[in-house]
Structures are given as C-alpha cells and as structure tokens.
Homo-oligomer: A and B are copies of this chain.
Amino acid sequence: MEELWVKSAVASWKQIVERLDRRLLPLTDEELQKQVAPGKNRLVYLLGHLIAVHDRMFPQLGIGERSHAELDDAYLTNPDRTLPDPLPVADLKKAWSEVNGALTAAFEKLTPAEWLQKHSAVSDEDFVKDPSRNRLALLLSRTNHASFHAGQVVLAK
C-alpha cells in the first residue's frame, strides 16, 4: 500500500515538470527574454532558477552530486538582470531536461522507507524531534515551488 503513496507523490512532481517542459522548451531565445509581468523575472531567469533549485535536490536528498553550481550566482542568489546569463539557452534547456530526468529516475528507485528518512538539511537531533522533515516533505515542497513558478510562466506575453 505504501507504494501508492510514493507513486502519487512522484506522479505529482512529474506532472508539474512536464507542464513546465511544454511551456518553456518550445520557446525561442527571444521569447525566453520575456518577463512574466512588467519589471518581474524573465522566463529564462525562472528556467535557470528552477534548474538550480532542482539540481540542489541531489545532495539535499542524498541521492547524488549536483552538476550545475554555475547557475547559482545568476539565478539563485541574485535577482534577475543582476548578472549576465551564464549559459546559452540551448545548454540551459539541456540542463533542465537532464537534471529533472536524473531526479525522476532516482525518485522511482527510492523505497517508501527511504522516502521517510531525513533529508540532509535537517540535523539528527531535529529529525528525532520532527520526523516529518523527511525526503518526502522536501519533494512536496519542491513540487509546490515549481508549480508556484509555473503559475507565473503562463502570464508572460
């Protein structure tokens, strides 16, 4: 029965990632320069931001090393248009697909018991106090984060 919990949580993640795939991957370099609203983030910033956040899930979940730390300065620690875009759009799209593909493959291998183990951002002591700070909670949180930005992406025109 616990397999169904895993399946539902991973399906929810995949649904949001696929929605973003359909929205962002077909866009041209020029279209990705559009802002979601006047003065707000460009689509390319949100794409880079989501890659950086997802890439960090590997160490956070203890399922691998991250591979795109070069995106943090431009898309995570600084607001949009502070620094030049560090990668051409084609490379950014490739990184998006690779990071999400590798994450999803790793998710599908974790057992229900492994999903309830603590994630690396929680200390052993804190996890004993609050066992809900587990891998699953991190997955749900990142799925909501991606959905939050998906709601912004659809506004660009």
Residue A33 is within 8 A (CB to CB) of chain B in the complex: no
B2-A137 in contact (CB<8A): no
- CB neighbours of A112 from chain B (8 A): 1, 5
Residue A67 is within 8 A (CB to CB) of chain B in the complex: no
- CB neighbours of A143 from chain B (8 A): 140, 144
B8-A140 in contact (CB<8A): yes
Q: Tell me whether chain A's interface is mostly helix, strand or loop, or mixed.
A: helix
> A107-151 toward B: CB 8 Å interface, digit per residue (1/0)?
000001100100000000000000110101100110111011111
A141-B12 in contact (CB<8A): yes
B11-A155 in contact (CB<8A): no
- CB neighbours of A7 from chain B (8 A): 132
B137-A16 in contact (CB<8A): no
- CB neighbours of A1 from chain B (8 A): 2, 112-113, 116
- CB neighbours of A134 from chain B (8 A): 4, 8
Q: Contacts A38-B38, A149-B151 given: A2-B4 contact, CB under 8 Å? A: no
Give the 8 A-B CB pairs with smallest separation, nearest first.
A151-B151, A37-B37, A148-B151, A12-B140, A147-B147, A144-B147, A5-B5, A151-B152
5 contacts between A and B (CB under 8 A): A8-B136, A12-B141, A16-B144, A140-B140, A148-B148
Q: A12-B140, A36-B155 are in contact. List 6 more A-B contacts (CB 8 A).
A: A2-B5, A8-B140, A15-B144, A37-B155, A147-B148, A151-B151
